Amino acid sequence: MSRQQQSDEILLIGRIRQREQAALGELYDRYARVMYSLAFKILGSVEEAEEVVLDVFSQAWKNADCYDATRSRVDAWLFLMTRSRALDRLRKRQRQSKVVEVATATAKTVTSQTLKTPEEDLLISERREMITAAMVKLPQEQRQVIELAYFQGLSQAAIAQRTGMKLGTVKTRIRLGLSKLRGLLEEAGGMQQTRRRRDKGVHFLDNG
């Protein structure tokens, strides 16, 4: 980068400090694509990479006063924020994945060790049916990775190797699939509770 380009970008930051949105637009046009490539390389997700870029430019708009031209160039400042935001998201995703894995393992252990009453057998059977019905509603690519992870016990790396997908893609699809599955199960659970209350009401009237 030439000295003239560096000077131009320092002036852009100065204009952003003055709340000139056009200056932010110019900066976006210069670096958004490269920043997106960096974020995508780390996260392997189009959606999350785009969100990182928007987050960084939002931060640049709010914190332009924090930029110090004596410490770094404008492009280095933006790339550092991009890398930091992307890694934060990656670490958060990994923590969420570990929590789900531990919760799933714990649930399996508790289920296998607990003596079940007929009522518990019925609840477990209903829950299994709810999960099966919800899984069918997932997009095929999300259902595939969840089945491999939680029904066949494959690690995310093993899923990536078997399917030929990138590890980041596997992680993103599991995350999105679990989120959608959770919503479907909550919806199904609410409908099931409503049906039970209705059935109890009918049973009460029959015995009245």
- Residue ranges, CATH 1.10.1740.10, the chain: 3-90
Q: What is the pTM of this model?
A: 0.47
Using CB atoms within 10 A of its CB, is residue 159 exposed (0-12), middle (13-18) or buried (19+)? buried
| The two three-digit tokens of residue 32, written as one number | 């958004």
Fold of domain 3-90: Rna Polymerase Sigma Factor; Chain: A (1.10.1740)
Task: Report CA-CA distances (Å) from 76 to 13, 81, 157, 168.
Answer: 13, 9, 32, 25
Contact at 8 Å (CB) between 142 and 173? yes
Question: Distance of CA 84 to CAs 42, 65, 91, 199, Å?
Answer: 10, 19, 11, 54
Q: What is the per-residue pLDDT for 36? A: 92
Residue type, 35: M
Is 115-207 a domain of CATH 3.40.50.170? no
Identity of residue 39: A
Do the beta carbons of residue 110 and residue 63 sit within 8 Å? no
Instruction: Specify the pLDDT at position 186.
Output: 79
| Number of Cα atoms under 13 Å in the Cβ half of residue 25 | 3
User: What pLDDT, on a 0 to 100 scale, did the predictor assign at position 129?
Assistant: 73
Q: Which residues contact 47 (CB under 8 A, 6 or more apart)?
A: 172
Amino acid 110: pLDDT? 46
pLDDT at res. 81: 92
Domain limits, CATH 1.10.10.10, in the chain: 115-207
Q: In the prediction, which pLDDT does 201 show? A: 47
Which residues touch 175 (CB under 8 Å, ≥6 apart)? 93, 96, 97
pLDDT at 82: 93
Dist CA 14 CA 9 (whole Å): 9
Residue-by-residue pLDDT tens, the chain, 208 positions: 567 777 888 898 999 999 988 888 888 988 899 999 999 998 888 888 888 998 899 889 988 888 888 888 998 999 999 999 999 888 877 766 655 555 555 445 544 544 455 555 566 566 667 777 778 888 888 888 888 887 777 888 889 888 888 888 888 888 888 888 888 877 766 655 555 555 544 443 445 4
**DSSP structure string for 130-176:** HHHHHHHHS-HHHHHHHIIIIIS---HHHHHHHH---HHHHHHHHHH
Q: How high is the pLDDT of residue 200? A: 46
